[in-house]
Chain A
Amino acid sequence: MENNVLKLEHCTMQFGGVVAVDDFSMEVNEHEIVALIGPNGAGKTTAFNFVTGVYEPTNGKVFFHNELMVANHPAGKMKKLYKGDPDQICEKVVRKTPDQITKMGIARTFQNIRLFKALTVFENVLIAKHMHAKSGLLKTAMHLNYKEEIKMRKEAMELLEMQNLAAYRNDIASSLPYGQQRHLEIARALATNPTLLLLDEPAAGMNPQETDELAAFIKKTKEDFNLTVFLIEHHMDLVMGISDRIYVLDFGKMIAHGLPADIQNNDRVIQAYLGVEENA
């Protein structure tokens, strides 16, 4: 058996007659940083969201640590409309909601930062600890779980200190500067104790200097927490700088995958990105 953390098999997404992702397969190995790139509308967000549980693929499977996490096949009206390979239709249907996926050890961030805006920085991180709490509702409500509560608070505080956010702990999340909000969102994701971290365009809206800092930060975090990272991103320099491997999507189809250096020189990728790589 292969030792991959995440694996997508023959994933297809069809909205009505439009194929957004076409028979996409990929894997992310332990302790790797893997990026999924592609021009706008290539279907990378859709593919990403198979893993987060936001979308169900029309057909295909997703494995996490070799455990079947998501599986679906065309049903109802889609049976007729389905344009994919009929041989690859998967039999089982497995659905996991985003919270179940998080509990399995996959944490994520969002493209447009989604912090709990009106809560403090500390509360934002502390909330992520809730799912690991074992005390029942009654015990928690009566504050009889104080040992657990103290432990949760301690862990959250440690995390903030590691991320250099301890100074802001009583500030309201939305009052932080943009870059810090990104950090906080990653810190919050880490608080769920994940083994796989999903980053949805982490450098969106950042200037080059901030992007560089972010790249270093992601690498360091990966080492510190012994993580595997899967990200989708626009910024080529970030992707090229940190990724171990890269997958490229265009019009729903995978057009290339390999090491950053190979991708940079791949003609099809350059074509697809025409003009974009000059920015990078």
Chain B
Amino acid sequence: MKKSTKTLFNIIAVSIILAMLIFLELNKRKYSYDISIIERSIIYAVAAVAMNLTNGFTGLFSLGQAGFMAIGAYTVAILTIPVEARAGVFYVTGMNEFLSKIELPFIPALLLGGFFAAVLAGLIGIPVLRLKSDYLAIATLGFSEIIRSIIASPQLNMITNGSYGLKKIPRFPSIFVPMILCSLCILIIVMLINSSYGRAFKAIREDETAAEAMGINLFRHKLTSFMISSFFTGIAGGLLASYMGTIDSGTFKITLTYDILLIMVLGGMGSVTGSILGSFLVTAGREWLRFFDQPLTLGSWQVPLFRTGFRMVVFSILLMIVVLFYSKGLMGSKEFSWEGLLGFFKNLFTRKQKLNGGVSNGK
């Protein structure tokens, strides 16, 4: 495909998306459900792309997403809740004197949240990343539980409001805010992946011993990858706080990590566009599959199985199917390209023909 055609396609795609966003923004109320799904998808996409950086590109199995998101979310929440609303939020114990006067604009708070997440990642990474990466999985998983119980602890009531959670976090003024921020985050990660450092990460994923023999300092690069990933996970957490408006420690349970993991696996480990696609599919699919939870009657026949909880069963079966039979996910380690898309449709068409031919020949 010619470069000019590609540019044209890109421009068309971007303008369609923009037009769609403007349309949604203008009809906010009617489409608030769709807007909220899009916002949530794109925030999860940042977390999934960040997870992909460690898990898909560097080959480290980290499961601390929920913990890092919690750090980012609480940083943003504590620093951006309007000062005048704080007395009402910290209604049980009041807020720490010093903190109660500090209010930051959204973006600096977000960056600070990412920064704290990265620092904590460093603290875990330094002891653990020298070892086999299996331990990273369990250490990060454990860490995110620790963070959750520390946030909820009564000792921190004056800072995190302990068990009572935080509310009145300023919400996004329009869909463009999360859209632009998330796109920026993903863009930065993509640029990193395509740089010399990104190649070093991939080398580590492919073969640690060989990478080391290429002069790549394993520990330093693993730590770099893990910390950058945690930084963006923290940012995703901060965005989530603003998206939700209220957070508490229960928001950041292990299931959140598993959600992100599912998105990454479904999209394909090692594919950024896969993660983004996966994020939209999972988030929207989750809502879309809600009907599984409602009793369904076709005509007069009451469909069995359809009742509360069935959706999550279907969901986990889908995950297992992807893992077992389509282990590469939707995109494998490939990225989206127009050629790929055209190829996909062509393939679909020719395969159908083949299939038809095959049936007649076979009989």
Interface residue ranges, A against B (CB under 8 Å): 52, 54, 97-100, 102-103, 107-108, 110, 114-119, 123, 126-133, 135, 137, 140-143, 145, 148-149, 152, 188-189, 192
Contact = CB atoms under 8 A, between A and B. Distances in A.
Given A116-B206, A137-B224, A141-B192, A128 B214 contact: yes
Most chain A beta carbons < 10 A, residue from B191, B199, B207: B199
A108 B211 CA distance: 11
B191 A141 contact: yes
B215 A114 contact: no
Given A97-B212, A99-B218, A145-B196, A118 B224 contact: no
B333 interface: yes
A99 B217 contact: yes
Interface string B185-221: 0001001101111011011001101111111111000
A114 B210 contact: yes
28 contacts: A52-B213, A97-B217, A97-B218, A99-B213, A99-B217, A102-B212, A102-B213, A107-B213, A114-B207, A114-B213, A117-B206, A117-B207, A119-B203, A126-B199, A127-B211, A128-B215, A130-B199, A130-B216, A131-B215, A131-B216, A135-B196, A137-B197, A141-B188, A141-B191, A142-B191, A143-B191, A192-B214, A192-B215
Contacts of A129: 196
Interface string B167-193: 000000000000000000000100110
Contacts of A142: 188, 191
Contacts, number: 102
Nearest to A113: B210
A118 B333 contact: yes
A148 B197 CA distance: 13
A188 B214 contact: yes
Nearest to A125: B214
Most chain A beta carbons < 10 A, residue from B197, B207, B210, B217: B210
Interface of B: 188, 191-192, 194-197, 199-200, 202-203, 206-207, 209-218, 224, 333
Contacts of B213: 52, 98-99, 102, 107-108, 110, 114, 189
Contacts of B206: 115-119
Contacts of A188: 214
B202 A119 contact: yes
B216 A141 contact: no
A275 B188 CA distance: 61
Contacts of B195: 140-141, 143, 145, 149
A114 B213 CA distance: 10
Given A97-B212, A118-B206, A127-B211, A140 B217 contact: no
B215 A99 contact: yes
Contacts of A143: 191, 194-195
Contacts of B196: 126, 129-130, 133, 135, 140, 145, 148-149, 152
Contacts of A99: 212-218
Given A116-B203, A116-B211, A133-B196, 20 more contacts: A97-B212, A98-B213, A99-B215, A103-B215, A108-B213, A110-B213, A114-B207, A114-B209, A116-B207, A128-B214, A130-B196, A130-B197, A131-B215, A131-B216, A137-B224, A141-B188, A141-B191, A141-B197, A143-B194, A192-B214
B188 A127 contact: no
B337 to A, nearest CB: 15
Most chain A beta carbons < 10 A, residue from B194, B203, B224: B203
Most chain B beta carbons < 10 A, residue from A107, A110, A114: A114
A116 B192 CA distance: 19
Contact of B215 (A52, A130, A141): A130
A99 B216 CA distance: 5
Nearest to B212: A98
A127 B209 contact: no
A102 B191 contact: no
A192 B196 CA distance: 14
